[in-house]
Amino acid sequence: MQIRPPRLRAGARLGIVSPAYWPEPERLARAVGVFTDLGYEAVPADNVGQRQDKYAGPPQARADDLMAMFVNPSIDAIVCARGGYGINRVLPLLDYDVIAAHPKILVGFSDITGLLTTVAQQCGVVTFHGPMLTTFGRETLPFNIDTLLAVLSGADEIDIRSTADCPARCLAPGVASGPLWGGNLSLLIERLGTPGQVRADGAILFLEDIDEKLHAFDRMLLQLRATGCLDGIRGLVVGEMLEMHDAGDGAFGKDTDAIVMDVFGDLGIPIISHFPCGHGTCQATLPISHTVELHADPDDPRIRIPQSPVS
């Protein structure tokens, strides 16, 4: 049974955790100010200020922060400060039975993909692929904050469209419905063969990545296809693929759209690309494991959320 966490209410207390790399203090302070101005209270976890090389403290400290935020009755939602690398060392240290007993909004992206998919699968709790504190620490775009608050507000029938700065492209038209799974492609590959392997049967899959060689992008998609875990997908959303480039020894010969269609075009499913989710300036908030509709309309490509993912 799917568990929808309680909706985000006015004046909510937001637990700030950093389960991967440590956040830059200036960006963290600016982002906290954004939420404070909106009427929320940001509560940093005990170890957010820790540093161990690139990490926000050792794995156990980062896991303790997450668990403390889930069990603290005064914390209404949990927002990750940033990604980077290291969530894979935290995942085995979490108590998923406790998390399932204390469901809360959990938001992040990038390396946090592993946390979002694992919590959604092992606990049955809807999680949220969306902007982190580093996003708002860089700049505050209306699209990011408006979409975040709309999805977490408890409203039904939400349409998430692309923006003028990030116009989505329809690669294969059609309409599909199913639970939404996915996130950062590199992290989905990392979780293959583990309890956190993505479950895509009957799902709408979404993928995004940054700073990969085009042949590596092709290889990862082919690996996903070869595992069989994508055999039953009903639709595909490809986010911004930023800083994708050729290797130094010559052109690969295909851009990301061409690679996607080469790998997935024979499935006969609706596909859109360049959707504003992931590492780009515009970052939509998407509910992991919750049923959505993909409308791959050449004139109006969008993701529709018929029922609120929060309760």
Structure tokens belonging to residue 89: 């060392």
Please report, rounded to a whole number, the percentage of residues in the chain having pLDDT higher than 90.
Answer: 86
**What's the mean pLDDT in 62-88?**
97
Distance CA 18, CA 20 (A): 6
Residues with a catalytic annotation lie at: 110, 208, 279
Question: Mind listing the domains of the chain with CATH numbers?
Answer: 13-140 (3.40.50.10740), 158-305 (3.50.30.60)
Closest to 135 (Cα-Cα) out of 11, 34, 249, 272:
34
Please say whether the beta carbons of 163 and 275 come within 8 A: no
Q: What is the pLDDT of residues 217-258, one digit of tens each?
A: 999 999 999 998 888 999 999 998 888 888 767 688 899 999
Burial of 278 (0-12, 13-18, 19+ CB in 10 A): buried
Q: What is the pLDDT of residues 95-114, one digit of tens each?
A: 999 999 999 999 999 999 99
**With 90 as the cut, is the pLDDT of residue 165 above it?**
no
Distance CA 239, CA 280 (A): 9
How far is residue 263 CA from its own chain's centroid?
Answer: 22
Q: What is the pLDDT of residues 32-50, one digit of tens each?
A: 999 999 999 999 999 888 9
Distance CA 103, CA 4 (A): 8
SS3 for 51?
A: coil
The count of residues in the chain is 311
The answer to which of 67-76, 109-118, 210-219, 242-251 has the lowest mean pLDDT is: 242-251
**What's the mean pLDDT in 293-300?**
97
Distance CA 59, CA 238 (A): 31
**What's the mean pLDDT in 115-127?**
96
Distance CA 216, CA 212 (A): 6
CA torsion angle for 41, 45, 49, 50 (degrees, to 10)? -170
- Ordered strands of the 204-210 beta sheet: 158-161, 302-305, 291-296, 174-184, 204-210, 235-242, 271-275, 169-172
Q: Does the pTM of the predicted model rise above 0.75?
A: yes
